[in-house]
Amino acid sequence: MFSSADVKVHHSFFVNDLTGEIGVRDLAFVPLGGDFDWHRSTNSRDVFFELAEGRLSTAMMETEGQDPIQVVSFIRSFERPRVPRDKGEDVTVFKVQELGFNLSIWASWTEKWQCLGRECFDLVSGGWTFFFQVDEGPFTQLLRAEWDQPLLSDLANGLRAGAGQPHWHVDLRSEVIHESVVNLHSVWQKEVSELVELSTEIGLQSLDEARSMVVHSLHRAGMHFPMAGTADWSWQIQIEGELIRLRRWGIAVLRYVADEVKQLKLV
């Protein structure tokens, strides 16, 4: 369990670490939906954050008959459109790596916290979503690296209790092509009422059959690929109240992906 001050300190340290890592001058954690009063929460609810290029600005606003109140706003460095994800809210992305052939890699970091009331919070999950872009085309989701806290995530999201933590998701879909045999007689009986003349040059072993290529999209996004095993091979590691573990893991994943994506090629 963490206080709102703990969450703010965690975000401050993480921003400092990432700024030196990717060379982006202005980064800030922004509550989704403009929920800048999240730290004053006294009721049970979820709070979502994302990293964005820009800076937080605070100002004091005078109110008639009351003490001035502090108002927080976010000033974006760039007005980029939000990028849709296969799962979850649309996100703000920043560039991680510029590759050859006008191919670039982009990333988004998001966190989900659960407010327990009286400004007390538990971390539910945190992680990266990686995208690639060719020229100025659309963003295509490539990978996710997530670290859910098993007990909270299972309750909040209905996740499988045995899913590895932390873990990878492979989001890029693959086309699976296979040959399908179609019985021509059954098709004709359903769709054709008159006689059809068949060519003898179609090269089929039997005029009762035709072969066609069927294309499917293999979607693997629901699979969890664990990053590490524990002593008892339960595949789950928890942060256990140490947010520095989440930050170190986040930096390590970013470095790893930034290096590995150099192997990507457009063919």
> How do residues 82-119 score in pLDDT, each as one tens digit?
899 887 788 989 888 888 888 999 999 999 999 887 77
What average pLDDT score do residues 132-159 get?
Answer: 77
Q: Which residues, including other chains, have CB under 8 Å from residue 69's CB and lie 6 or more apart?
A: 60, 61, 63
What average pLDDT score do residues 10-34 get?
Answer: 84
Q: Are residues 133 and 201 in the same domain?
A: no
Mean residue pLDDT across the chain: 74
Nearest of 48, 37, 172 to residue 108 by alpha carbon: 48
Q: Are residues 107 and 129 in the same domain?
A: yes
Q: Which domain holds residue 185?
A: 177-213
Give pLDDT, residue 178.
45
- 164 pLDDT band, cuts 50/70/90, is confident
Q: Are residues 75 and 91 in the same domain?
A: yes
User: For residue 21, how many C-alpha atoms fall within 13 Å in the half-sphere facing its CB?
Assistant: 23
Q: Per residue in 178-213, pLDDT tens?
A: 454 545 444 444 444 444 444 444 444 454 555 555
pLDDT of 246 > 90? The answer is yes
Nearest of 121, 120, 125, 169 to residue 149 by alpha carbon: 125
Q: Are residues 71 and 184 in the same domain?
A: no
- 233 pLDDT band, cuts 50/70/90, is low
Q: Are residues 104 and 184 in the same domain?
A: no
pLDDT of 49 > 90? The answer is yes
Q: Are residues 141 and 208 in the same domain?
A: no
